[in-house]
Amino acid sequence: MIEKLIAYFSKFQPLAEEEKNILREGTEISIVKSGVILLKEGGIPKDNYFLIRGCVRQYYLKDGEENTSNFFTEEEWILPFTSVENNGISKYFLECMEDSYLVIANDEQGNDFLEKFPRFQKISQLILEKEIVRQQNELAKYINQTPEQRYFDLKKNRPDLLSRAPQYQIASYIGVKPESLSRIRKRIMKYLD
């Protein structure tokens, strides 16, 4: 499984065999059961995650109702960004939707690793840039698309989520109630027929 992490890093910069071996020997993979909360609202994030296999949902509570803001799946980083204004306190939850295989690293471990192996600093910077751009694109899509367009986009670009997440979470993710999602799905099915 660690080979997936090596392949991921190699997309950004080719790794020498020595660097691959460092990752093989020094990286632990944690198996986290479905339903486990990795981060709670009001908590201070201490860890970053690389998802090798599984699905993690990000959500927040509004008036006691869960609102899904993101799903993370294979070969994605989960970097819990918080703001200085919040004193680093999370406004959302991270929950494993499936048994998940994660590489978990706190900031101290990450900084130690980057000090010992400076070539990974460039890779780390590229990954962070990619993640920021991805999040900006997701926000722009959410603002500029109708719920129907969001669902169609999800069906086209992340079809696996439609079978991995309950429909009420998909509905929340695209910004509608479950009954509205049902109507959207029917309209799209008619369009595709």
| Digit-coded pLDDT (tens) for 102-120 | 999 887 888 888 888 888 8
Q: Compute CA distances 1 → 13, 52, 62, whole Å.
A: 19, 7, 37
pLDDT of residue 92: 93
Q: Read off the pTM.
A: 0.89
CATH of domain 2-119: 2.60.120.10
Alpha carbons 71 and 69: distance in angstroms, whole number: 7
| Digit-coded pLDDT (tens) for 20-67 | 998 898 888 999 999 999 999 999 888 999 999 999 999 999 999 999
Side by side, the strands of the sheet bearing 56-62 are: 37-39, 93-96, 56-62, 65-72
Alpha carbons 78 and 128: distance in angstroms, whole number: 11
Q: How many CB atoms sit inside 10 A of residue 94's CB?
A: 23
Task: Report which residue type is found at 32.
Answer: V
What is the β-pairing status of strands 76-78 and 37-39?
Answer: unpaired
